Amino acid sequence: MKVETLRWSDGVLEMIDQRILPATFIYLQFDSAASVAEGIRSMVVRGAPAIGVAAAYGVALEALRLLAVTDELFQRGMNEGINTLAQSRPTAVNLFWALSRMKQVWQGVASETNTQVAMHLLAEAHEIFAEDIRINRTLGSHGAELLRDGAHVLTHCNAGALATAGHGTALGIIRSAVEAGKKISVIADETRPFLQGARLTAWEMVQEKIPVTLITDNTAGFMMSRGEVDAVVVGTDRVAANGDVANKIGTYMVAVLAQRHHIPFYVACPLSTIDMSIASGKDIPIEERHPDEVKGFRDFHWAAQGVQIRNPSFDITPAELVTALITEKGVIHQPDVKKLRVLFN
């Protein structure tokens, strides 16, 4: 089954509601920048590339919504819409990358009618969507070569089709390896507190009959110490110019454990996730989410009343722990600022 995380349908954006997967599979509809921003904030859609694609459609939807207004109101409405989208989540740089690409297209055609501007923006959103799938397939085939036949691959969070326009980045590498005829089995960290591993990665792999074993986050070290993990492959939300990697909270622990056990730690990373304007990981903004996600589930709270809670959603893995970044332009072993600069030249 091909997972269509986002799709354009009759003038609206439809996105799978990832908050309630896998128990319930439904699409929600979005018709403005504000509604898409709320979808990103509340995590109907999540995962860095998918957030970028959704934001691009959000800009196009806003232009379509404002077709009939004066030029001045169009200008104001579009700027407000883009600002609202930019404030939806802070860590994944793909959001800002997609917004800046959409703004550039807008500026290039600003003298045209509102309808023409909206059509250009919609075409660009479709292009960002299609490009994301192409990139994931290329990146996937580069990464697949690094996995041996029979490998047990541990992943954290969900960097699958659900986190992108399709195929996935980390899970894209696994899919590409399986397509190339390799037998790969996946070990999915559950990924507290939002459970992207248990709910989304496990679901994607089960759908495709790729063997998958779910573990609690604190089981990874035990599995590694028993020789049950051959490689780690994760996605990323932002890579700094020196190669430091921001990804889902808990990734850093996995990277430290992988180094301790001499297991390669690979990061699947489209170029749109590399932020050359940020020197190192310590400058990457880390989203702090609501304490309720840690306290319990819905109305049931298992944590002691009155306890203080921290809920950072991402952490930073220093470049020195990264065996390689796997990009659409090839594999960058032991990434550093020089190697990343070359990538962009």
Catalytic positions, please? 237
For ligand MRU, give the closer residue by CB, 65 or 156: 156
- Residues 278-297 interacting with ligand MRU (rule: CB under 6 A): none
Interhelix angle for 71-86 vs 33-41, to 10°?
0
Least distance (Å) between residue 194 CB and ligand MRU: 6
Considering only 3, 37, 92, 186, the residue that binds ligand MRU (CB under 6 A) is: 92
Q: Which stretch binds ligand MRU (CB under 6 A): 21-29, 101-109, 162-170, 209-217?
A: 162-170
Q: Give the pairing type, strands 265-268 and 324-327.
A: parallel
Strands (E), 165-218: 185-189, 212-215
Comparing CB distances to ligand MRU, the nearer of 61 and 93 is 93
What minimum distance in Å lies between the beta carbon of 161 and ligand MRU? 9
Show the tokens assigned to 274. Answer: 């590399």
Q: How many residues bind ligand MRU (CB under 6 A)?
A: 17
Of residues 189 through 208, those in contact with ligand MRU by CB under 6 A are 196
Going 193 to 269 to 9 to 64, the CA torsion angle's sign is: positive
Window of 25-33, 127-135, 230-238, 296-304 that interacts with ligand MRU by CB under 6 A: 230-238
Instruction: Give the closest residue to 239 by CA, choosing from 266, 200, 201.
Output: 266
**CB of residue 70 to ligand MRU, shortest distance in Å:** 37
Nearer to ligand MRU, 106 or 194 (CB): 194
Rule CB under 6 A: say whether 322 interacts with ligand MRU: no
Q: Residues 316-345, buried b or exposed e (16+ Cβ, 10 A)?
A: bbbbebbbbbbbbbebbeebeeeebeeeee
Binding-site member from 157, 174, 177, 340 for ligand MRU (CB under 6 A): 157
- Give CB contacts under 8 A, 24+ apart, made by 7-14: 8/57, 8/125, 8/126, 8/129, 11/64, 12/61, 13/54, 13/57, 13/58, 13/61
The only residue of 62, 190, 204, 237 in contact with ligand MRU, by rule CB under 6 A: 237
Phi and psi for 59 in degrees, rounded to 5?
-65, -45
Compute how many other C-beta atoms are within 10 angstroms of the C-beta atom of residue 153. Answer: 23
Nearer to ligand MRU, 59 or 173 (CB): 173
Which of 170, 319 has the CB closer to ligand MRU?
Answer: 170
48 binds ligand MRU (CB under 6 A): yes
* In the complex, least distance from residue 139 CB atom to ligand MRU, rounded to whole angstroms: 10
Euclidean distance between CA atoms 36 and 85, whole angstroms? 7
User: Pick from 197, 198, 201: which is nearest to 210 by CA?
Assistant: 201
Tell me which residue has its CB nearest to ligand MRU: 235
Tokens read off for 151:
């490998």
Report residue 309 as tokens: 């809670």
Nearest approach, Cβ of 212 to ligand MRU (angstroms)? 16
Q: Which of 5, 88, 138, 169 binds ligand MRU (CB under 6 A)?
A: 169
Rounded CA separation 309/163 (Å): 27
**143 within 8 A of 233, measured Cβ to Cβ:** yes
- Residue carrying structure tokens 């579009």: 78
Stretch that binds ligand MRU, among 44-52, 68-76, 124-132, 144-152 (CB under 6 A): 44-52
Confirm or reject binding of residue 313 to ligand MRU (CB under 6 A): yes
The residues of the shown chain that bind ligand MRU, judged by CB under 6 A, are 46-49, 92, 157, 159, 163-164, 169, 196, 235-237, 247-248, 313
